């Protein structure tokens, strides 16, 4: 039997030799493929000869005909070529290579065969052109482009010719730049509806009490070239901005008139004006909106039209004729009421609505003529003579019209919002020449009273707008520095005991200034109630022990503060507006009278507007003219007529008096309120309107300190 184990062992050795030889050949072939030097070793050749290999395939080399172009392939865009590695050509997958082909085909030939497709895939693309910025398409119509080009040039180089205010020039440049400098007021050389509306409003400026010559409207019909159209465009824009600014804030700044006027500034924003007018459906109405919205302004404007004979009806002209005189009835003869066909026209001209068609020159007509004569500097006889007829038919700029014009101007200084919106637009308005005070709410008067105002000259009541913050019952009178240094200290030089006899306390402060006060009581100069609206002029409204002055027609007797006839009613009216649930009454206010100060603070302050209206329309719709007690009308008329125009809009600074310490030493025998030489209590302003200090002023010798309560 054959020894299988011996044969198996031999067979295993043969397999191991073959495997070793195969691994050696494989490793050698791999190294040979990477090496550029031919194998010349005898050992290597012997190994190669020992390994059986198949015969090489007799395949002819490829020709050009063996390669076929793919007609369905798309040529890639050079700009979209990426850095991806080239994929093998589809032809490489047509036939799988045989092992013999892999072994016997030199590596160099393989590389050469694969080179053409690889070269085609990785061919460098031509350089891409740099991206260009998108061309901005003009929004200007072709017909307006020449004007737009000229506007661009003018605003860049000549804007100072049209706009002398820096903020307006910047707003105009931004406005036209945003619209590619397209004209606003014309299209294809023709006026737009917006342009027509603005020009119509400028030409009607006289109806608002403004001067039309201050807002010239260019003649677009005469503008035949782009240069002329562009210049007319900017001129109209400048006139529109001037109109809006002066319609809202006035032709003159209030500081041009006097140093005792202070109203909040409310200038226009030129960018807002341009945006508003350019987008409005009716540019004329939008531009008119910059005039005051107040009822007093609108009523006075209507009266201006009547004075000019430009009311809703035709212009009224009184014909010349015989003199008409009314004679009242006596015991011996009846009243004389001559008839004349001119009387109905006279009634209409003078605003007499009762018996409008009556031809009799009766007592009412005669009274109206007499009142007109007083206002026209004529002898008030009540007789319609030739001079009176001529005055009634006088030119447009007569005295009454001038008075109305300056009063319209003063109304422009007031805030656009007169009252507190959260309180039904409640506010207080005091008219100095009329000596009346009104509490307004929801557009109607709630309460009215008489007042006493400041004397003409240095004691004139100032014009201002502030907010009333609280009411003081049983106030201490802290004498204003102007009264101390101008009146009381000179009086002390004559009589060192005068303050003691008046019940006044004298203190010297550490800085050398003098403070004088009067404790609460019936004889206090402020009476029982003070109404506080802190302001730089240190004025306020208050009660008074001198009630007899309210019976006089002209009541300019104070040092600048305003005395109220019925302060308890005034206080309850205001408190019921700000605190309606508290149910204040005049009786409740009077029950607080005593020796201790009581502050009633308002949760919401009420605006106080102190005005100077010598011309206004009363509740019956009639024009009222009052005496110019401070001479403000004459000064303003002169300023408005002098032609300085825009110069009047500049604020003027005024020096304020400084009351720091007495110029002269106090005479011997002056009695101070306490044994202390100096007082370091609150300042005058803090004593008057309250402040951070809570110190109680020292009481007079022999008296207990006064208590102060706040509610």
Tell me: the pLDDT tens digits for 217-236?
999 999 999 999 999 999 99
* DSSP count for the chain of H helices, then E strands: 22, 18
Please give the helix or strand (H or E) that residue 468 lies within, else none: strand 463-473
Please give the helix or strand (H or E) that residue 431 lies within, else none: strand 427-431
pLDDT digits (tens, 9 = 90+) for 112-169: 444 444 444 445 556 666 666 565 667 899 999 999 999 999 998 866 678 989 999 9
pLDDT band at 539 (very low <50, low <70, confident <90, very high): very high
Distances (CA, A) of 249 to 87, 502, 702: 81, 46, 56
Largest CA distance in the chain: 191
pLDDT for residue 45 is more than 90? no
What pLDDT does residue 351 have? 79
What pLDDT does residue 350 have? 85
What pLDDT does residue 586 have? 97
Q: 3-class DSSP state for residue 702?
A: coil
Q: What mean pLDDT do residues 7-23 have?
A: 64
pLDDT band at 454 (very low <50, low <70, confident <90, very high): very high
Distances (CA, A) of 599 to 211, 236, 419, 704: 49, 56, 23, 20
What pLDDT does residue 21 have? 67
pLDDT digits (tens, 9 = 90+) for 347-385: 988 878 888 899 999 999 999 999 888 867 789 999 999
Indicate the burial class of 702 (C-beta count within 10 angstroms; 0-12, 13-18, 19 or more).
exposed
- As a whole number of angstroms, the distance between CA 565 and CA 570 comes to 9
65 or 439: which leads in pLDDT: 439
Q: What's the mean per-residue pLDDT of the chain? A: 81
Q: What percent of the chain has pLDDT over 70?
A: 71
Selection from 83, 72, 70, 71 nearest residue 125 by Cα: 83
99 or 272: which leads in pLDDT: 272
pLDDT for residue 312 is more than 90? no
Of the candidate ranges 193-197, 388-392, 581-585, 659-663, the one whose mean pLDDT is the lowest: 659-663
User: Considering the entire predicted model, what is its pTM?
Assistant: 0.68
pLDDT band at 496 (very low <50, low <70, confident <90, very high): confident
Record the tokens describing residue 78, joined without a space: 């050079």
pLDDT digits (tens, 9 = 90+) for 621-637: 999 999 999 999 999 99
Q: What angle do CA 212, 217, 222 make, to 5 degrees?
A: 145
What pLDDT does residue 481 have? 83
Selection from 413, 409, 148, 424 nearest residue 263 by Cα: 413
What pLDDT does residue 112 have? 41
What pLDDT does residue 485 have? 83
What pLDDT does residue 182 have? 97
pLDDT band at 398 (very low <50, low <70, confident <90, very high): confident
Of the candidate ranges 36-45, 71-80, 234-243, 488-497, the one whose mean pLDDT is the lowest: 71-80
Q: 696 with 705: CB under 8 angstroms?
A: yes
pLDDT for residue 470 is more than 60? yes
What pLDDT does residue 60 have? 60
Place of tokens 């050696």: 24
What pLDDT does residue 104 have? 42
Handedness of CA 304, 268, 647, 264 (dihedral sign): positive
pLDDT digits (tens, 9 = 90+) for 657-699: 665 555 566 677 666 765 444 444 454 445 555 543 333 333 3
Selection from 419, 415, 460 nearest residue 438 by Cα: 419
pLDDT band at 514 (very low <50, low <70, confident <90, very high): confident
């Amino acid at each position: 039997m054959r020894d299988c184990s011996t044969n198996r062992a031999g067979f295993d050795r043969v397999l191991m030799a073959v495997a070793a030889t195969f691994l050696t050949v494989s490793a050698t072939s791999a190294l040979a493929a990477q090496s550029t030097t031919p194998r010349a070793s005898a050992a290597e050749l012997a190994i190669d000869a020992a390994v059986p290999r198949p015969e090489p395939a007799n395949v002819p080399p490829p020709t050009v005909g063996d390669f076929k172009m793919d007609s369905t392939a798309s040529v890639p865009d050079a700009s979209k070529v990426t850095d991806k590695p080239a994929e093998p050509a589809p032809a490489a997958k047509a036939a799988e290579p045989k092992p013999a082909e892999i072994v016997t085909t030199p590596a160099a030939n393989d590389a050469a065969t694969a080179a053409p497709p690889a070269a085609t895939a990785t061919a460098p693309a031509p350089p891409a052109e740099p991206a260009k910025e998108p061309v901005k398409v003009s929004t200007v119509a072709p017909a307006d482009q020449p004007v737009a080009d000229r506007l661009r040039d003018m605003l860049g180089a000549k804007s100072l010719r049209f706009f002398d205010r820096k903020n307006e020039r910047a707003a105009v440049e931004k406005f036209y730049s945003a619209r590619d400098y397209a004209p606003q007021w014309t299209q294809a050389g023709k006026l737009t509806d917006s342009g027509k509306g603005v020009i119509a409003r400028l030409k009607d400026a006289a109806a608002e009490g403004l001067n039309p010559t201050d807002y010239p409207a260019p003649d677009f019909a005469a503008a035949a070239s782009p240069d002329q159209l562009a210049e007319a465009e900017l001129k109209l824009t400048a006139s529109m901005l001037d109109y809006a600014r002066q319609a809202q804030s006035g032709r003159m700044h209030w500081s041009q008139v006097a140093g005792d006027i202070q109203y909040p500034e409310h200038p226009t924003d030129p960018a807002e004006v341009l945006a508003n007018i350019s987008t409005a459906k009716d540019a004329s109405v939008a531009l008119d909106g910059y005039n005051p919205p107040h009822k007093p302004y609108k009523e006075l404007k209507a009266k201006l039209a009547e004075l000019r004979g430009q009311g809703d009806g035709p212009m009224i002209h009184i014909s010349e004729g015989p003199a008409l005189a009314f004679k009242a009835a006596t015991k011996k003869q009846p009243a004389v009421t001559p008839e004349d066909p001119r009387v109905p026209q006279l009634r209409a001209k003078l605003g007499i609505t009762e018996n409008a068609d009556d031809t009799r020159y009766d007592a009412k007509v005669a009274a109206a003529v007499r009142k007109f004569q007083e206002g026209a500097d004529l002898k008030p006889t009540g007789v319609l003579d030739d001079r009176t007829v001529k005055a009634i038919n006088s030119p447009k700029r007569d005295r009454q019209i001038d008075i109305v014009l300056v009063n319209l101007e003063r109304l422009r200084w007031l805030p656009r919002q007169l009252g507190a919106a959260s309180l039904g637009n409640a506010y207080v308005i005091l008219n100095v020449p009329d000596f009346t005070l009104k509490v307004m709410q929801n557009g109607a008067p709630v309460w009215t009273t008489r007042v006493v105002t400041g004397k003409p000259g240095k004691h004139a009541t100032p014009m201002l707008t502030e907010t009333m913050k609280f009411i003081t019952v049983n106030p201490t009178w802290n004498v204003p520095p102007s009264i101390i240094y101008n009146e009381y200290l000179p009086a002390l030089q004559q009589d060192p005991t005068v303050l003691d006899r008046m019940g006044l306390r004298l203190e010297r402060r550490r800085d050398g200034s003098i403070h004088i006060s009067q404790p609460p009581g019936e004889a206090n100069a402020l009476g029982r109630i003070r109404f506080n609206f802190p302001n730089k002029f240190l004025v306020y409204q208050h009660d008074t022990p001198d009630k007899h002055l309210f019976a006089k027609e002209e009541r300019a007797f104070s040092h600048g503060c305003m005395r109220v006839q019925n302060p308890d009613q005034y206080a309850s009216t205001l408190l019921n507006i700000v605190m309606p649930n508290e149910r204040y009454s005049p009786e409740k206010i009077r029950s607080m009278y005593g020796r201790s100060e009581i502050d009633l603070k308002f949760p919401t302050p009420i605006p106080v507007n102190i005005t100077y209206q010598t011309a206004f329309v009363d509740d019956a719709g009639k024009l009222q003219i009052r005496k110019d007690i401070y001479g403000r009308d004459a000064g303003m008329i002169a300023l408005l007529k002098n032609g300085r125009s825009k110069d009047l809009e500049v604020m003027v600074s005024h020096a304020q008096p400084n009351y720091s310490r007495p110029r002269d030493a106090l005479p011997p025998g002056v009695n101070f309120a306490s044994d202390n030489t100096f007082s370091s209590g609150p300042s005058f302003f803090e004593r008057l309107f309250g402040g951070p200090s809570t110190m109680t002023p020292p009481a007079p010798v022999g008296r207990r300190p006064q208590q102060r309560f706040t509610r």
